[in-house]
Amino acid sequence: MVTLYDACIPMMIKYLGNLKHILKKAEEHCVAKGLNQEEMIKFRLIEDMRSLDFQVQSVSNTAKFIPTRLAALPDVFFADDESTFPQLQSRVDATVDVLRAIPRDAFDGREDAEVVLASKMGDFKFTGYAYVVQYACPNFHFHLASAYCILRHLGVPLTAFDYLDSQKDLFVKVEKAE
């Protein structure tokens, strides 16, 4: 049986690793091309959309709030003040550390538990299952994809494999017999 932990935590750890890889490539691209890193980090795809730093912070916050909201584990505070690629990469590392510290059984039996998401738009109520599967995982990928798209738009040489498999542990190429 797939648990709520299995459904989100290992996936988020993997994709946070991919995000760190993407951020490293962006930093290398800025150095190689002599681009302003601060401008890249503050870039928005469109005026009413948030910047790259916000997207990375949102990926992190979505992941780190799961144990707090679902299992009442203590929140780990991050200031959301990262302004350089090394700081964003450190933020990703810190988020992975939070996720790795979650006991595998922390979410057991929480599928039907009430989870309340307090936001600027109001409070929203979910079951534990709906919170993880229908909100947290999609929101995590929305902000991750937004960060990827900002960097692609700015010319960072990224491919789908950077997003999906930077650690080269997902896709195993099948050799065809001749």
Position 99 in a domain: yes
Q: What angle do CA 57, 60, 64 make, to 5 degrees?
A: 135
Position 98 in a domain: yes
- Check residues 162 and 87 and name the one with the higher pLDDT: 87
Position 133 in a domain: yes
Position 22 in a domain: yes
Position 130 in a domain: yes
- Look up the pTM and report it: 0.92
Q: Which are the contacts of 156, defined by CB distance < 8 A and separation ≥ 6?
A: 22, 25, 26, 29
* 116-153 residue pLDDT tens: 998 889 999 999 999 999 999 999 999 999 999 999 99
Position 171 in a domain: no
- 29/110 Cα distance (integer angstroms): 43
- 23/9 Cα distance (integer angstroms): 21
* 68-112 residue pLDDT tens: 999 999 999 999 999 999 999 999 999 999 999 999 999 999 999
Q: Which of 152, 156, 125, 118 is nearest to 29 (CA)?
A: 156
Report how many domains make up the chain: 1
**Full domain range(s) for residue 112:** 4-165
Position 170 in a domain: no
**CATH number for position 104:** 1.20.120.450
Position 178 in a domain: no
pLDDT confidence tier of residue 61, bands split at 50, 70 and 90 = very high
